[in-house]
């Protein structure tokens, strides 16, 4: 299940296999610049359904779209010049931006909220996979409760309520216990266990929903 790659020279064959799995509704775990993420393809309704079932989260604000560049934001969210400049200044990096969705995004993601979290991670593995797939990845933070059964999953009420650090994974082999995961792409190094900073930029004033490793204000 684990595919080891050199983050500085990622094997195209591994990326192609991962993209194939995602297109068929599979789930892929990968490292980011914060913690391990579980991902599915933005275009796969089967993958989105499986990811939501696995996570157990009822609050859709726990889910984040991982993008390779700002141009992918514009296809999904409402963004003016002020928001564009802020995102460009802080990306790629450990910041998640809450933006208002464009018409049709809610249907694509099967969400009820007219807002979504989006970020560009500062890590070569997710960026390379997104470029291979040609679509953003729908993601959620991997956590220990996902291996304990559905009755123990979920429970948070919003992104301002942090998952305890001990709930996060450090080593790639730990994720093999997560049921339904099809592939783990690893750089064969220990993963950090930190959180992104979540900035709500749906209104004129920026609101910090979670203070993570990303500095704010900057």
152 pLDDT higher than 70: no
Domains of the chain: 2-210 (3.90.870.10)
Any idea which of 37-51, 109-123, 148-162 has the lowest mean pLDDT? 148-162
Query: Contact 48/138 with Cβ under 8 angstroms?
Result: yes
pLDDT of residue 105: 76
Neighbouring CB atoms inside 10 A of 189's CB total 10
* pLDDT tens digits, one per residue of 60-105: 667 899 999 999 988 788 899 999 999 999 999 999 999 998 877 7
* Residue closest to 102 by CA, chosen among 82, 76, 71, 121: 76
162 pLDDT higher than 70: no
How far apart (Å, rounded) are the C-alpha atoms in residues 155 and 50?
18
Cα atoms found within 13 Å of the Cα of residue 153, Cβ hemisphere only: 21
How far apart (Å, rounded) are the C-alpha atoms in residues 37 and 169?
10
Does this model's pTM top 0.85? My answer is yes
* Residue closest to 51 by CA, chosen among 63, 43, 35: 63
């Amino acid at each position: 299940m684990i595919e080891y790659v050199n983050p500085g020279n990622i094997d195209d064959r591994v990326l192609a296999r991962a993209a194939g799995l995602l297109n068929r509704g599979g789930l892929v775990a990968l490292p980011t610049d914060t913690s391990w993420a579980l991902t599915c393809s933005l275009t796969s309704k089967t993958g989105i359904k499986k990811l939501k079932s696995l996570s157990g989260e009822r609050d859709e604000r726990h889910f984040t779209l991982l993008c390779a560049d700002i141009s992918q934001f514009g296809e999904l969210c409402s963004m003016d010049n002020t928001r564009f400049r802020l995102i460009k200044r802080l990306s790629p990096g450990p910041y998640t931006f809450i933006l208002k969705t464009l018409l049709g995004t809610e249907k694509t993601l099967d969400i009820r909220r007219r807002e979504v979290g989006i970020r560009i991670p500062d890590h070569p593995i997710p960026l390379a996979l997104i470029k291979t797939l040609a679509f953003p990845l729908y993601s959620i933070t991997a956590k220990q409760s996902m291996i304990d059964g559905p009755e123990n999953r979920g429970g948070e009420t919003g992104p301002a309520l942090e998952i305890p650090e001990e709930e996060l994974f450090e080593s790639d082999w730990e994720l093999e216990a997560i049921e339904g995961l099809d592939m783990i792409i690893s750089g064969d190094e220990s993963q950090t266990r930190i959180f992104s900073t979540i900035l709500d930029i749906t209104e004129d004033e920026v609101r910090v929903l979670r203070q993570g490793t990303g500095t704010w204000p900057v």
